[in-house]
Structure 1
């Protein structure tokens, strides 16, 4: 054909080995399947009469990346990412044919310089070609004996995945995730000029892979951008399930990584160019511009200068123990140090909910900027039998310099003494003033029982997960069980009793268990805490939460918080609870609600649940612009959170009676992330009802499953919602049938909670739908009496709103408009969009009083 090719010939040393010849044939067959710009193509396989095997492949006129790095040193980040993207595309082609390379490394990656179509040398780029699919084999095939080289290992150990190094050749299978690991090692080599692991044998390498990766990653801080460190951590995960699951997924993550790295410099350049344009156009001149640029750069380098000098975030301590279960132990060490520091009034200490999201993060400048602190404390814990090694270091986030560091070695029983010393040293380094009471709090051990402390730490992690993901129905009972076991070990464990009381109160307040027995359990835990430490701020905080959640005793709760605040200066929960109380307290100051929430957010800036509650307050106040800004803050923390994206789009429905943004968001998620359809089913249902789309409503109802539709304290079951859809369609027979089923279920709920208004208000609504007018109104009014605004401003308004709806369904328009006027004049979940669009309010349409209420809520 007249084209130059490269010939690959089997080594003479192996030409007589039938296994080696078979592997060579397999290499040719595997590579010949692939036709891709980033894969060196195989054209022909042959064998001489003497048995010499060869194949002809594309001649790649370039050099290997290994040779490039050895000659010129590590690659720039942008070029390394470009290599990664091209190799990922090659792996996508291999994956499509069920082929796993199994020997990805820099010496198997050729680079070729190319010019653009114009031939302009300035347009030079690099193309990467993956060569030597010599160990490649279909990922789904069963293992064979052809790979039993090098004591059963095939590949290049320094670039091999843990599963390759450990594989039993008779049973193991490899897939694309093994190549992704090898590409991760390759990227490390390209960025650093060396591989991350240096063991001399496969066994030594695997030990390093399992135990030393976190430390190796930390050494990259300041040299490699944080987004790329995060990606390397994912690619080099020991467990394949924790890596990108396909080459396609890897390629998407590589692109996201590049965007994240380039975003900040691009924004800085745009700002500088904008400043230049303004300055030049106003005749200031270039000298002024360069003065401006210098000060902008200085400002960027001291972004955290506004953070208080005496401020600190205690980051998660790294678990260096062989046992993964000891991760809870390391978290317990961090939590206790944080708790001790938080007792010091002269310090600003970030709450644990926010700092735990930085597990494994090493860009201290970014962390300091995000949390508005001038210092971070990081460390590691290694537990070996009864021996303990703790390393701690205090870092100034403004300069990324070490302020203090120390290693501690001791017996396990000395752990609490070490934790106290670390807290004291940090306070000393920050020149914090410490009172006698605060010093005592630092020195006090949480418990004398290590087993109790371990169980307590596990429980707190479950509570923390609930705070971040709101998965309380499962997590909170499990945490309560762990705490009960901890208290069985040490009945005097004060913090264990406080945490247990909080969990019981949450289960009661959230409606998971609103029985007197649950309140009695909370009572018992609080009484135990007061017997142990009656003057402790944590005990008064626990009692405040109990009075608020269990009894709606707002004044009593505020009095307890006043006492708690004297010794808990940095506890975000205190300000958060003040906000909740003020929001529900009759005559509460809503601006004070928001001030308390913002103070809590200052101490706990990445507390997702707290931000969610802040958005809810703005919604009740119908301050929709500010509500959307809070959602933006939430999405900065969890950019892909489906519920938050939908909630933000829902604002337009409430504010302007505009369903289009919500509808478009739902449609987009249905295409790009269909797994989220269940989590946003409630919003889908409301959108469908607002648009009078029964088919979409039924589809959403199926996705909702057994999950009730919630409106603050009110819950609607599936049969009720089926009846509502049928009612909207004017299918009276189906509506009656569904509401009858709903009534039977709702009666059971009311019987279990006879003195609680929300279930009764739903029963009233059902009876109104069934034509039981007098009974419906009686139940609606009784619900208002059981939960009046004088007892709970927020819950009481909800009861009034649903009494208005019940009256409308029962045909009493006078009562309906009277009650709706009350609900719409106060902070509540009564919005222009819902009154304008929802079928709940159809019986009132055309009534001038109702239309006046709707108009009063219209956007101004």
Structure 2
């Protein structure tokens, strides 16, 4: 009988909600019975309980003072049930519950009565998680937190608590789940006491070892350190606040060393490494660092694997060598634990060259097995899938990918050259192998970049991108890479943020470790006024690609637009640490002082008072320098910046300034009214042509610029009409980023033509939204000179010193 029961209940992964009543033992017997009956009724009334029970995907276990609910549906089921219970408890003040949630293995056992019961790590861990909490807490294990972080609904409700010591001295990482109304936001007493004890122990140790040497100065230093520590933990950047300890199932695939005599095979070695990385990245149970960050650790250079593990936030790295000779290939790979430098696995493969993709799949599968990753059948099939059977086509693809990566960090002619070369190589790749899906996806991305960068801003270029995407979908309709390419097409080609977001959500299902999914989601979030989501998505992108300077720069910009300057500095400092010789990052940091404190000196410290100290940087950042020169009322610096600007028009706050208009602003700064009017008149003639020739998608910027010119010429009604029309074409509700820039200049038009009330009316909301305006803008921008001294304006200026209060 027992053997048969064991057969019927096999080991399965279940999702457990453990509940108990705080203070149960202090109740009388009658009170205990009443509490258990009331708890049972409340639990059975929840929708999640009823749904799971109706579908026979729920097992209930009584624990005396509470219960365990074992769901066999999804990781969200116990969480939704816990939230429903927390809401219901408002009407049941006698029930003081704490709850713990974990997903893990559950199996059937025969208990002492001969009955079938449940046991396993899933139940045990859920109970231990619960035991870390107090009344009202909904605590989840690290495993559950990582699962929930994939959902926009749950991500903002998760708050990492760190490690909690449980039974037998074991430690588990837990997170607190709560909203403003549900759950308990307080630090659990068990964790609070543990932290206090640890702090006291550390303090005692310091006192024992340093007591005789502590001076007044040293005491002052300790106070300062304590103060800094308090401020750090109180105001720490969101990008660090939710960081967990390094995940056990985390890995970075470092560049493989090319041992071939022919240096041209370096791209082949890079391709082997890249394909293993891509295969592992398809496993949702792993954390896999993206290509951009690992490529910084070039093969052949000395490597400190412990440092690399710390820098990338991983527990393991994979290293290897590739040797290609004639029709043969040798691949050697080894897995290393970065915390101990212990070699966990190594193997050498000697095969025919045609088998190289099979080698890559085998290595990826071996690594996943070594890390004990859960792999779904779909993920296993994806790892086994070979990108192409044509080695030459794959070489072309790898070279093109390298060019696309380079283009992202270049500008001007170099960027255009790399993008067009990548298109050419990818066209050759699909010509050799018309079934090469990844090459079609790369080709679509390259075409869209060519379109976005206005190298070829034509409908034909968009059609070429769409044709490549269609080819990819014909090969594999459920391809995550194809959905990612389509998301980029909607985003970069049409600014269709909703459809791009939908495609990114589909892509994420099969590309759980793709940093671009989270980066592009964050950029779309900004434009759709979802700033909290933008921060979370950029944070996730940085977890997967921690040394990607583009993502770090976008994170810094996001914080700056939210007027969260401390965190913007932290991100910029991170850039400087990665590239200490890059003067652009020092300029970025100095720029923060302009917006936060209206202080121009740090920028002048980088560029010189008249922008003559760094001509190369002036050329690349001339538009920003021109704006800073206007803010500083420095005509010499403005002339120098204008001389360095090669584009006409050039962009300021998403609006194009023509050179003639800029010359008019400088002439007005110099007091040359006649020269200013002549320049503005020339600018109007030029801008009218621009507006007439401009496609609808760029019309609002052209109209806004024309409005500024008409305001300078005293054409009040035309200026107001043009500015108002620009705002109607691109309101903040349609594009929270560029729309805010349009509204800023419409307010400036109102101020310039003497409509003070109307200008104030626009500035009030503008000063309360991200990307709207800053203290530096309002204090320094000459556009606002007509409003200075107005108490309403000065109040807005003072309010702009504060971070944006997001709802």
Change over 3 Å in CA distance of 1:788–1:458 after alignment to 2: same
State the Cα distance separating 1:826 from its structure 2 match.
1.1
> How far 1:554 moved relative to its partner?
3.2
Q: Residues 709 and 716 of structure 1 are in contact (CA less than 8 Å); yes or no, is this contact kept in structure 2? A: yes
Counterpart pick for 1:801 among 744, 757, 768: 744
Which of 762, 770, 779 in structure 2 is aligned with 1:836? 779
In structure 2, the CA distance between the partners of 1:490 and 1:764, relative to structure 1 (3 Å rule), is farther
Counterparts of 1:253-264 in structure 2, within 5 Å, are: none
SS in 2 for 1:379: strand
Task: Report the CA distance shift for 1:461/1:805 in structure 2 as closer, same or farther (over 3 A).
Answer: same
Deviations 1:605-650 (A, max 9, x none): 0111111111111111111111111111111211122121111111
C-alpha distance after superposition, 1:219-267 (max 9, x if no partner): xxxxxxxxxxxxxxxxxxxxxxxxxxxxxxxxxxxxxxxxxxxxxxxxx
Contact 1:337–1:419 (CA under 8 A) maintained in structure 2:
yes
Q: How does 1:452-471 map to 2 (within 5 A)?
A: 452-469=393-410
The answer to whether structure 1 residue 418 and structure 2 residue 337 are counterparts is no
What is the 5 A alignment of 1:450-599? 450-469=391-410, 472-510=415-453, 513-585=456-528, 588-599=529-540
**Alpha-carbon offset, residue 567 of structure 1:** 1.3
Q: Structure 2 residue aligned with 1:449, among 385, 390, 394?
A: 390
Match of 2:608, SS? helix
Distance 1:854 1:650 in 2: 19
Instruction: Please tell me whether the aligned partners of residues 723 and 736 of structure 1 are also in contact (alpha carbons under 8 angstroms).
Output: yes
Contact 1:643–1:679, Cα closer than 8 Å, also in 2:
no
Task: Trace 1:647-666 onto structure 2 (pairs within 5 A).
Answer: 647-666=588-607
User: 1:507: Cα distance to partner?
Assistant: 4.1
Corresponding position of 2:583: 642
Distance of 2:469 and 2:642 partners within structure 1: 41
Q: Which one is further off, 597-606 or 314-323?
A: 314-323
Instruction: Specify the alignment match of 2:376 in structure 1.
Output: 435
Please give the alpha-carbon distance, in whole angstroms, between the structure 1 residues aligned to 2:610 and 2:751: 36
| Partner deviation per Cα, 1:707-740 (whole Å, 9 max, x = no partner) | 8643453333433322221222232233234334
Q: State the partner residue of 1:343.
A: 282
Closer, same or farther: CA 844–504 of 1 in aligned 2, 3 Å: farther
Could you tell me how far 1:283 is from its partner in structure 2?
8.6
User: Which structure 2 residues correspond to residues 651-800 of structure 1 after superposition, within 5 A?
Assistant: 651-667=592-608, 675-706=616-647, 709-750=650-691, 751-756=693-698, 757-800=700-743
Does the CA-based 8 Å contact 1:346-1:434 persist in structure 2?
yes
Alpha-carbon RMSD: 3.0
Q: SS of the residue aligned with 1:382?
A: strand
1:516 CA displacement: 3.1
SS state at 2:510 partner: coil
The CA distance in 1 between the partners of 2:572 and 2:554, in whole Å, is 11
State the shift of 1:811 in Å.
Answer: 3.6
Aligned residue in 2 for 1:165: none
Look up the match of 1:858.
801
Residue in 2 that maps onto 1:131: none
Q: Tell me, what secondary structure is at the counterpart of 1:835?
A: helix
Contact 2:654 2:742 in 1 (8 A): no
For residues 439 and 467 of structure 1, do their structure 2 counterparts lie closer, same or farther at Cα, with a shift above 3 Å needed?
A: same
Cα contact 2:610–2:636 (8 A) shared by 1: no
- Is it true that 1:324 corresponds to 2:250 in the alignment? no
Q: What are the superposed Cα offsets for residues 808-856 of structure 1, whole Å, 9 maximum, x if unpaired?
A: 3334333332222232221115111111112233333334433332222
SS at match of 1:336: helix
For 2:638 and 2:494, locate their aligned partners in 1 and report how far apart those are by CA, in whole Å.
37
Equivalent runs, 1:24-103 vs 2, <5 Å: none
Cα drift, residue 746 of structure 1: 4.0
Match of 2:298 in 1: 359
- Within 1, Cα distance between the matches of 2:585 and 2:648? 18
The one of 808, 815, 824 equivalent to 2:767 is 824
By how many angstroms is 1:597 displaced?
0.8
1:190-205 to structure 2, matched below 5 A, reads: none
Instruction: Kindly indicate whether the alpha-carbon contact (under 8 Å) linking 2:732 and 2:739 is maintained by their aligned counterparts in 1.
Output: yes
Query: What's the counterpart of residue 194 of structure 1?
Result: none
Q: Deviations over 1:445-488 (max 9, x none)?
A: 11222222112111111222234456744433332232222222
Quote how far apart the aligned CAs of 1:669 are.
Answer: 12
SS at structure 1 position matched to 2:620 = coil
- 2:338 is the counterpart of 1:397: yes
Which stretch has the larger CA shift, 832-841 or 805-814? 805-814
**Contact persistence 1:780–1:803 (CA under 8 A):** yes
TM-score (ref. length: structure 1)? 0.62
CA shift in 2, pair 1:317/1:384, >3 Å: same
Q: What TM-score comes out, normalization by structure 2 length? A: 0.66
Cα distance change of structure 1 residues 741 and 511 upon mapping to structure 2, 3 Å threshold: farther
In our comparison, the structure showing a higher alpha carbon Rg is 1
Q: In structure 1, how many angstroms separate the alpha carbons of the residues matched to 2:423 and 2:504?
A: 24
Q: 1:79 maps to which residue? A: none
Moved more, 386-395 or 337-346: 386-395
Native 8 Å contact 1:723 1:738 kept in 2: yes
Q: Are 1:365 and 1:398, in contact at CA under 8 Å, matched by a contact in 2? A: yes
Question: 2:269 touches 2:322 (CA, 8 Å); kept in 1?
Answer: yes
Cα separation, 1, equivalents of 2:686 and 2:354:
55
Q: Is the 8 A contact 1:305 1:398 kept in 2?
A: no
In structure 2, what is the Cα distance between the partners aligned to 1:407 and 1:834?
61
Q: CA deviation at 1:379?
A: 1.9
Which residue of structure 1 aligns with residue 189 of structure 2? none
Q: 1:275 & 1:749 partners in 2: Cα distance?
A: 72
